[in-house]
Structure 1
């Protein structure tokens, strides 16, 4: 915990085309100056996909909560984030005989290109966002991490600007007290 009693939060930001992002960029602007939050843009850090595993593990160890912020890509995450998870949270460090992430928290912060109705059994995607994010929840469990309810902004490019701004503000406020605030599990863009 930080000296103010707030958990240390590592936001692992993964967007392969951040210049084109509307919602994720606005969300990052809202959280950049929070004293308990470290924003780590892995596409800026590793444009060649060669991840410094030792440095990344040091970042993980220095934080209490890992927030994975990214757009939903093909029912998953962008490729570099998947590579990061496979390399950094590997057996021997985060699971198996390794337990370095035990007791930490995992929160997925997702933006989608579709409306919330698309993420229902009768919708375009034929399942809920919780179903789509189940592999991430299982990964958190494998790493002995506590799964926090995802934070989702649906219809990220099309949601009205005021709603997008409200989401960014609520995200920032949540990061100041993530374990005592029930913003997790809220879906904007309905």
Structure 2
């Protein structure tokens, strides 16, 4: 079954890493359903039913986004709020439509990895900072998996690092 990749990047055309990842994913339409939310919903009016049907049709779901201000883009939060609604994703009598579906995050991070350590500049790891996503997906009974991250998009970006991250990303997806 195909993997659903939901891209939440406000400006993917001017992104180096996310744009490259999207290009690679689009080479394999038989493996990946790639959805660029900002492109699909420029007015941010989400087709809730369409999104829910796509989630139901896939066993693996990846949310790909840039990490800034120690969080996800606001459109991702909005998407979570309206798509994972009571009676569909959770709640008494809910069918828990995401139950046992593998879900993971794929994140591009501007800051270097060493800054996201207990003794680093920001005092917390990326895993700790993304704990609310883990809790959210546990709440809806999904099978939350460890995240994939590319650190240092604001520093030392080389073609070699980007290409290696692209190969690593595809390997990460295949191993889910």
TM-score by length of 1: 0.86
Residue 173 of structure 1: aligned partner: 171
Misfit runs of 4+, over 3 Å: none
Pick aligned residue for 1:40 from 11, 27, 35: 35
Give 1:150-189 correspondences, 5 Å limit: 150-158=147-155, 159-175=157-173, 177-179=174-176
Query: Structure 2 vs 1, CA of residues 127 and 174 (structure 1 numbering), >3 Å: closer, same or farther?
Result: closer
Deviation at 1:91, TM superposition (A): 1.7
1:60 paired residue among 38, 50, 55: 55
CA RMSD of the aligned region, Å?
1.2
Name the SS of the counterpart of 1:91 in structure 2.
coil
- Give unmatched runs, 5+ long, in structure 1: 3-7, 180-190
Q: Structure 1: how far apart are the matches of 2:91 and 2:85?
A: 9
Report whether the alignment pairs 1:118 with 2:115: yes
CA deviation string 1:17-47 (max 9, x = no partner): 1122001111111111221210000000111
What residue number does 1:148 align with?
A: 145
1:51 Cα offset (Å): 0.5
How many residues of Structure 1 are paired with residues of Structure 2 in the alignment?
A: 172
Aligned with 1:96: secondary structure? Answer: coil
Residue 29 of structure 1 pairs with residue 23 of structure 2: yes
Residue segments in structure 2 that go unaligned for 5+ positions in a row: none
User: How far apart are residue 118 of structure 1 and its match?
Assistant: 1.0
